[in-house]
Chains A and B, each alone.
Chain A
Amino acid sequence: MNILELAGVTLRLGERTILADVDLAVRAGEFIGVLGPNGAGKTTFMRAVLGLLPPAHGHIRVFGRPPRRGNPAIGYMPQVRTVLPELKIRGRDFIASSLDGARWGLPSLGRAKRQAIDATLELVGARALAERALSDMSGGERQRLLLAQALIGEPKLLLLDEPLIGLDARHQEIAIDVVRTVCRERGTTVLFSAHELNQLLGTLDRVLYLGSGKAVLGSVDEVITAPVLSRLYGTEIQVIRADGNYFVMSRGRTVEHGEHLHHSPHDHHR
């Protein structure tokens, strides 16, 4: 069964066309690595799947239906995370605010909720964050808190927008490992956007590569090739394979690394 289908989808932000005439289908339980240069439309793509951006043309089907805001079957970790770093609110309350957060009335933290939060924090190896204040957490710890939050409620589709930004190499490995383990076990479909392909090689089933308004979905061998990427980057690209790793090069420089450097999170240096 296809969890996600796009048929002739064009996405626009104002006058700018982000993706044009995209067709693709994601099967249940797949782990899709979403890659592409900055501004290629990874975030826009996810927002469309969430129902936040109606397509200018074409149809999107999520679980066989048009996307709708607030679908509880979708877990989401946004890229722009305006977490106020000075806020002294403990991790458990922070996550609790998102559970049923769209319902009116007073917030509540019942036993079931508390257990769900603590269990999920345990899952990502961050149990201690439940009692710690947000203001006392490092950027990486806050990332793990957000990852745990996205996993709560056992969503069938998980949209993770750059979940590795701000994490050091070791915590990146841990984060990928957690998502892989949990989602394999639950049969969750994952769209995982990232800047680097190589870390995800052992985990992903297929790659969705975005660029120049186009999108290509396929296996690593199909997509990470000089002709396909040259088309997506709009410039001549070489793909070098070494030691099981892929290096995407443009005029002698690796493309991915160059971009990763530009992208510093708010509190990376804290």
Chain B
Amino acid sequence: MFAYEFMNNAFAAAGIVAVVAGLVGYFLVMRGQTFAGHALSHIGFAGATGAGLLGLAPLWGLIGFTLTAGLFMGAMSERISNRDVAVGVVLALALGFGLLFLHYYTAFASQATAVLFGNVLAVDAQTILTLTVLGAVTLAGLGAIMRPLIFASLQPELAEAKGVPLRGLSIAFLALVALAVSACAQIVGVLMVFTLMVGPPAAAQRLSARLWSGLALAAGLSLAQAWLGLAMAFYTDWPVSFCIALLSGVGYFAALALPATVRASPASSPSPPR
């Protein structure tokens, strides 16, 4: 399978994106903002088709639109970016615009499927370079804000009292999510960003109560699912995104079923049972 250049490219691209998506997604799940992440990816669809209309590469449209939307959602206070209804309306609106752009630029229609469902097998060396830079910027940003981000996610009231700039942090984080979504959409498409950004981190959070091992697990699971998905697609000829989605779903539900036995035994605690 590694005799083909397109497979090597696919493994490299999927590997980079999976690690970034797993790490960023861990905080998305921790903050309960997965729906906001979902909306950002759909907004990215409008960006990608809009870029097509202007004759730009879809990736730049994706980044431009998701980044703008991420900054905007972050600025509209924490509470609002968590509100399902507001996010849902924005999401539908964005998809509508995507459709409109597509309507005026029908030549893009063939690429639209790639934007929606991903086309990792068509990744070239240039895209890998772009994804590497995108991933490095995202992880550097995440590393810079990680400590206050965790504090603000777990205990916003106390974090505010201790001098953490909640709103600035929220904006910065959603901007990083926007970058991760843009990268992720290159692999699995805007509709299936959840497969790498939410499935593995959510499973990791079920499996580990420790911060660092949880993060490592999120990145590891995401990477494993992306690579196994690629291999599975190679041998079965099924679409890559389907294979990754399948593994992501299986991983999550397996993690849901597992904790009953894995969880630390409550016998170690002196407190009465609830």
- Give A residues with C-beta under 8 Å from B: 47, 50, 52, 69-70, 74, 76-84, 87-90, 93-94, 96-98, 100-107, 109, 128-129, 131-134, 136, 138, 140-141, 149, 270
Within the complex, the shortest CB–CB distance from A68 to chain B, in Å, comes to 8
B205 at the A interface (CB under 8 A): yes
B143 at the A interface (CB under 8 A): yes
A136 touches B266 (CB 8 A): yes
Within the complex, the shortest CB–CB distance from A269 to chain B, in Å, comes to 10
In the complex, A4→B268 CA distance in Å? Answer: 42
- Option from B147, B150, B152, B163 in Cβ contact (under 8 Å) with A70: B163
In the complex, A129→B150 CA distance in Å? Answer: 19
In the complex, A80→B161 CA distance in Å? Answer: 13
9-residue interface stretch from B7-15, B99-107, B208-216: B208-216
In the complex, A128→B266 CA distance in Å? Answer: 10
A101 partner residues in chain B, CB cutoff 8 A: 147-148, 150-152, 158-159, 162, 164
A96 partner residues in chain B, CB cutoff 8 A: 211
B210 touches A93 (CB 8 A): yes
In the complex, A19→B163 CA distance in Å? Answer: 24
B274 partner residues in chain A, CB cutoff 8 A: 138, 270
A138 touches B151 (CB 8 A): no
Enumerate the 3 nearest inter-chain pairs by beta-carbon distance, A residue then B residue, closest first: A70-B163, A101-B151, A78-B157
In the complex, A107→B266 CA distance in Å? Answer: 28
B271 at the A interface (CB under 8 A): yes
Which of B152, B155, B161, B214 is the most central at the interface, judged by chain A CB atoms within 10 Å of its CB? B161
Q: Of residues 104 to 161 in B, which have CB atoms within 8 Å of A's CB atoms?
A: 143-148, 150-152, 154-161
A136 partner residues in chain B, CB cutoff 8 A: 263-264, 266
B155 touches A102 (CB 8 A): no
Which of A74, A82, A270 is the most central at the interface, judged by chain B CB atoms within 10 Å of its CB? A82
In the complex, A226→B179 CA distance in Å? Answer: 63
Residue of B nearest to A108 (CB): B147
A contacts with B: majority SS: loop
**Could you list 25 A-B pairs, sorted by A, with CB under 8 Å?**
A52-B161, A69-B160, A74-B161, A76-B158, A78-B155, A79-B157, A82-B157, A83-B154, A89-B205, A89-B214, A93-B211, A94-B154, A96-B211, A97-B147, A98-B159, A98-B162, A102-B162, A102-B163, A102-B164, A105-B143, A105-B147, A107-B150, A128-B271, A131-B264, A134-B209
In the complex, A108→B248 CA distance in Å? Answer: 30
Residue of A nearest to B155 (CB): A98
Within the complex, the shortest CB–CB distance from B175 to chain A, in Å, comes to 16
Interface membership of chain B positions 169-213, coded 1 if the CB is closer than 8 angstroms to chain A and 0 otherwise? 000000000000000000000000000000000000110111100
- Option from A70, A82, A84, A89 in Cβ contact (under 8 Å) with B162: A70
- Give B residues with C-beta under 8 Å from A: 30, 32, 143-148, 150-152, 154-164, 205-206, 208-211, 214, 259, 263-264, 266, 268-271, 274
B147 touches A100 (CB 8 A): yes
Provided the pairs A128-B268, A128-B269, A128-B270 are in contact, do residues A78 and B30 lie with their beta carbons within 8 angstroms?
no
Which of A80, A97, A129, A131 is the most central at the interface, judged by chain B CB atoms within 10 Å of its CB? A97
Residue of A nearest to B207 (CB): A88
Known: A81-B155, A106-B143, A133-B264. 16 other contacts (CB 8 A): A79-B157, A89-B205, A93-B209, A94-B154, A97-B147, A97-B151, A101-B162, A102-B151, A103-B147, A104-B145, A107-B147, A128-B268, A132-B269, A136-B264, A141-B271, A270-B274
B148 partner residues in chain A, CB cutoff 8 A: 101-104
A107 partner residues in chain B, CB cutoff 8 A: 146-147, 150, 211
A82 touches B150 (CB 8 A): no
